[in-house]
Amino acid sequence: MKIQALIVSLALLFSHFCLPLQQSFAQGNADLTDSQAFFEKTVQPPKYKNYEPQIEALLKKMTVEEKVGQMTELEIGVVTNGFGNNVQIDPAKLEKAIIQYKVGSILNVPGHALTVDKWWEIVGAIQAASAKTRLKIPNIYGVDSIHGANYVQGATLFPQEIGMAATWNPYLVQKSQEITAMETRAAALPWAYSPNLDLGRQPTWGRYWETYGEDPYLATVLGTAFVRGLEGTNVADDKHVASCPKHYLAYSFPFSGRDRTNAILSETELREYYLPPYEAAFKAGARSVMINSAAINGIPGHINKHLITDVLKGELKFDGFVVSDWQDIQKLVTQWKVAKNEKEATMIAINAGIDMSMVPQTYTFSDNLIALVKEKKVPMTRIDDAVRRILRVKFQLGLFENPMPNPAVKNNFGKPEYAQVSLEAARESLVLLKNENSILPLAKNKKVLVTGPTADSLISLNNGWTWVWQGSEKSLYPKDKLTIQQAIKDKLGEKNFQFVQGTEITLPPGKTSFEGTPAMFDREVDVNKAVDAAKKSDVVVLCLGEGSYAETPGNMVDLTLPEIQLNFAEKIIATGKPVVLVMAQGRPRLINRIADKVSGILLAMNPSDMGGVAIADVLFGDYNPNGKLPFTYPRHPHNYLMYDYRTFEVEETSYGNSATNPQFYFGDGLSYTTFAYSDLKLSSKSIPATGEVTVSFKITNTGKRAGKETAILYLRDEVASIAPPGKRVKRFAKVSLIPGESKTITFRLNKNDLSFIGTNHKPIVEAGDFTVMIGNLKDTFTVK
């Protein structure tokens, strides 16, 4: 019996480590047994040297013009000529910006991503010019490092935030951002405009894929991991950069669904849902913040003094600096019509609390603000507060001591091990949503047709902010990264593989990516050829979804997949061959016409350059999928009910039009093994309002393969003075289990978890019953 037990144990270990699951257990991929424990560790802010004496001494020396220069941010085209890697500093333009106007910050990329050496050339010239100014204050260069150092050629890319949310793995988020920080700083760039901490609760919004999904707790945990990854514990070292959470606040929930339009939200909702990720990021030490380009209840974000000065700088004690978004002070005149001219707009915005204006193409902001100070329409105390904050971050970044990093930091760029982290993130981001009759994993001896518009597209795997703003320039993508069809071909070989394009997503006729054009134009290529090939195959891998888009160009009036794609899918399905649908996209495109007719559905939310390999690994069983939906996947247009809906938001099901019938539910995600939940225990059935309750339960791998499971704890307040949600995420854990293995997970819930924002805009805990839900288990305790 002992020998038999030993054989079983060895077999379990073999299945865990040696079967072709390729489960990587590299740093950043350890078990997460308590999301809150991870959060409480990462939210601890670094302790910086006290630079206040130096800051105050410098402030006393500065003229009004020098102070306003620090508050001015211009884009790279203002000081250069040329495009891409042919860009060159224009000495006369640079002298005007840095010497004459004393500009303290430059941003952006000249058309598309630059090489590391070109970045050094450009940033070096700017810092050299800054060193010639009277006070030698260094420049701070800002860039959009959104899913990797995506404006540095050859950088390592990771899944977009919506894909990282599907991993439910803050370790991977932090590790990915440590790499992003190293590769950004390796290009002499010290400041990244990320993370996006907006919530994804409006999928027609063009920046949905830049979010961590619809739940504020998940966004809080992952967002804090992102900040810690970028900034580390010493943002001045050559491996880290300053973060810039954006877009404070509630930018992502426009009432119209259109980018940069008005949100209609009460302050109670703002504080309950939209503020927590930002509050946590600031506690973690985020050094800057970018403001909402839209409006809340008709008040543009850039003049919302209550949110910027009273809440952000006062209540939350944020001591970094506040930067506008692109042209947003000018848009107070042209778009929002709240100021009659740019000078008045500048006065309102700066007095509301904006510290730095991303102007970014003229000197009008500087001229106007200098005049406003001299006219005493903007007090010097407000100017000094702004400049003090900007100088503080420059000191903390180490820019006064080393405006340019040590050239040795270039060695931190493009290390081979980074690709493995990217691959692991891509794998964990994939969500298996349907696996009828265990169609997956596919056998490698089957004849497989791969077809569809996203099958041969790195653009679809990455989306916007990839080498160019819209991510739509195919020529800039690396040649050594595999698309879905290339990765499947690499796995199967020529004999059992065929690829036919079918339809494609491309730029509209006559347009180029460098005009800021998204890749959202569908057209047929060789549909009949694909249908004929399907008839001769054993199984079809049908790849649908989206191309690329960013910001306003990504606005959408209907989430339904384009008719060209749906018609093509129906023709493939009509062949009678089993179809596995792979959806490569940045938001939940509606598939109700075809979802019930395919055998399998694998969701790939912009998994990055390594997404093709990751998808092939999952389809053919070389990796066991473990992603979970971080959003509710709607079935119908105009039915975007979130998982935490309130009871009154759902009509009687007897009418046959229930709003609680999504295509897939928040938290859905299948595996090639099975898991069972058991032994739910509460430490107490009754606690005081200031008390804690410990929740424990067991997860067992009841299947035949090693795998990972994300356990999500939901809590419901049964009765409250403000109508309570049906449930809210309060904790999660992600654990690896070999067949037959069990692990006991323990969470502690405290008053913060029991509270909600009351009518006085403060957290409140009310007496009553609370229900804990995990898997198929539930139990209740009472707060007295």
Helix (H) or strand (E) holding 52: helix 52-61
Q: What are the strands, taking DSSP E only, across 150-193?
A: 191-192
Asked if 719 and 768 count as a contact pair (C-beta separation under 8 A), the reply is yes
C-alpha distances in angstroms, 711 versus 33, 503, 676, 699, 700?
9, 39, 11, 8, 11
Instruction: Identify how many contiguous H helices and E strands the chain contains and give both numbers.
Output: 23, 30
Token digits for 665? Answer: 């539910």
Helix, strand or coil, per DSSP, at residue 476: helix
For the chain, the 3-state helix, strand and coil shares in percent, each to the nearest 5, are 35, 20, 45
Token digits for 736? Answer: 């690896």
Asked if 361 and 73 count as a contact pair (C-beta separation under 8 A), the reply is no
Alpha carbons 528 and 754: distance in angstroms, whole number? 58
Helix (H) or strand (E) holding 384: helix 380-396
Q: Residue 34's CB: how many other CB atoms inside 10 A?
A: 16
C-alpha distances in angstroms, 504 versus 399, 467, 509?
47, 21, 13
Q: Which of 145, 216, 225 is nearest to 184 (CA)?
A: 145
C-alpha distances in angstroms, 773 versus 677, 698, 752?
11, 13, 18
- Phi (first) and psi of residue 619, to 5 degrees: -60, -35
Alpha carbons 333 and 137: distance in angstroms, whole number? 32
Q: Which of 460, 506, 521 is nearest to 160 (CA)?
A: 460
Cis peptide before 247 (omega within 30 of 0): yes
Active site residue 319: no
Q: What does the DSSP assignment read for 419-448?
A: HHHHHHHHHHH-EEEEEGGG--SPPTTS-E
Q: Residue 658's CB: how many other CB atoms inside 10 A?
A: 13
Alpha carbons 324 and 331: distance in angstroms, whole number? 11
β-sheet bridge partners, residue 584: 545, 604
Q: Side chain identity at 33, as an amino acid letter? A: T
Asked if 513 and 473 count as a contact pair (C-beta separation under 8 A), the reply is yes
What is the maximum alpha-carbon separation in the chain? 92
Token digits for 203? Answer: 């999928």
Alpha carbons 108 and 337: distance in angstroms, whole number? 27
Asked if 350 and 369 count as a contact pair (C-beta separation under 8 A), the reply is yes
Instruction: Say what the alpha-carbon torsion angle 154, 158, 161, 162 is, to the nearest 10 degrees.
Output: 120
β-sheet bridge partners, residue 745: 697
Q: What does the DSSP assignment read for 499-562?
A: EE--EEEEPPTT--GGGT--B-EEEESSHHHHHHHHHTSSEEEEEEE--B--SGGG--S--BPP
Q: Which of 142, 63, 140, 125 is nearest to 100 (CA)?
A: 63
Check 238, 325, 355, 456 and give the catalytic one: 325
Sheet containing 262-263: order of strands: 262-263, 295-296, 299-300
Could you tell me the end-to-end alpha-carbon distance of the chain, in angstroms, rounded to an integer?
A: 53
Instruction: Give the residue numbers annotated as catalytic, written as ranges.
Output: 325
